[in-house]
Amino acid sequence: MSMGEGLWVAGHQIHRLRQGWGPELVAAFTDEMLRAQHVSAATVYGEGAGDDTWVQYSLEGPGRVVSQRLSLLGYNRAATISFLNELLRADRLAWGIPSFLKAERQRQEVERTLLESSTAEDWIAAIAAGPDGQSPQVPGGFAWFLGLVDDTEPGFALQAVLMALPDAEVMFILDADDPDLLGENSELNTMCVNALAQIHEASAAHAPVIVLTEGSSDVAILEPALALLYPHLTDLVRFMDYANNARGGAGSLVTTIRAFAAAGVANPVIALFDNDTAATDALRPLALAVRGESCAAQHGGGLDAGLGRRPLDQWLPVQTMRSAKPPR
C-alpha cells in the first residue's frame, strides 16, 4: 500500500492535507518522533512511478500521546464532539442536487438520511468498529464516515479518529526529498519545538496585559484611570484581583513576578511598585534574576510619574525588566 503525504492512523489515511497544515498540528508531535527512511517512488506514488528513491520524512507516535498533546493544544474532547456535530450538520445542509441516475439518486437519499440521523457519537462508533470492506461511496460504512473528515481542520480530524481508535499508531507524513538530505535537515529536526514556540508567541501577542500592583488601593486608582484615559483598552488589560485576600506589599509582588516568569506565562506582564525603600530593596535582586520580553517592573512615583505621564501604548510591548522611574 502506498502511503503519501497526509495523516495516517492505524494504516488508514484520514486526511490528505491538501490545504497544508499549521503549527498546531505539528506541535501535537515531538521532535523525537521524526523519522526519515528511504522509499521508492512506487511506494509513494504507486506503480509506474519509476525506480527513483526518495527520503520520506514523517512524525510517528502512539495515538494516546498525540491525543493528549492535542487536548492541551485546544483539541479537547468537548471541542472535538462539537466539531463532529457541526461537520455532520454542514454536510447535511450541503447535500446537492439529486442525480438523474436512479442508483445514484437512491444512494444520495440514503446518505442524506444517515446525515440527518447521525451524531458525533455515531461517527465515533462507526470508526471504532473498524474497516468493513465497504467502498467510500457506500453510505454508513467505515470508509464513508472516515471520508467526512478529510479536508476539514486536521487537528480536529486527527483527534476525532483517536477518540475512536485511542491505541492506534499515528503517522504524519511530511514530504519526500533527495536521499542526500537523510538525517541532515536541521529545520525538520526541530520543527515540533519551533511550532510550539510559534504558538506561544501568537498566544502572547493576543493575550490580555496583566498589571500587578502592591495592593488593592493601587488597583482602585489605576483601573478607573485606565477607563477614563483609555476606555478602548479596558478589555485588553487585567488588574490583579485582591478580593480573594491576595497578599500585598513589595515582597509579595516580587514573589508573584518570579512565579509568572518561572511558569512562562504568555501574557505581557507589568508590575508597578511603590516609590519607597521597600520596593527598592525588593527589586534589586529581581532585576538580575528575571529578564524577558513579556515582563516588566516599574519603580516610580505612582500614577503621576508613571502611567499619567507616559501613554499606555508606549509601555507595550514591554521589552525588559525595568526598575528606574520612567522618563518624564
Report the range out of 11-15, 201-205, 211-215, 243-247 with the highest average pLDDT: 11-15
Report helix, strand or coil for 228: helix
* pTM of the shown model: 0.70
Element (H, E) at 201: helix 191-206
| 165-200: pLDDT as tens digits | 999 999 999 875 654 444 455 678 899 999 999 998
Is the model's pLDDT at 53 over the cut of 90?
Answer: no
For helices 63-72 and 154-164, give the axis angle rounded to 10 degrees.
130
Element (H, E) at 271: strand 269-273
C-alpha cell at 148: 467526512
For the chain, what percent of residues have pLDDT higher than 70?
73
Report, as an integer, the average pLDDT of 64-90. 95
Task: Give the distance, in angstroms, between the CA of residue 308 and the centroid of all CA atoms in the same chain.
Answer: 37
| 273-320: pLDDT as tens digits | 887 777 777 777 765 455 455 555 555 544 434 444 444 444 443 333
Does the CA dihedral 136-137-142-147 come out positive or negative? positive
Report the DSSP pairing between strands 209-213 and 237-239: parallel
**Measured distance CA(191)–CA(204) in Å, rounded:** 20
C-alpha cell at 119: 451524531
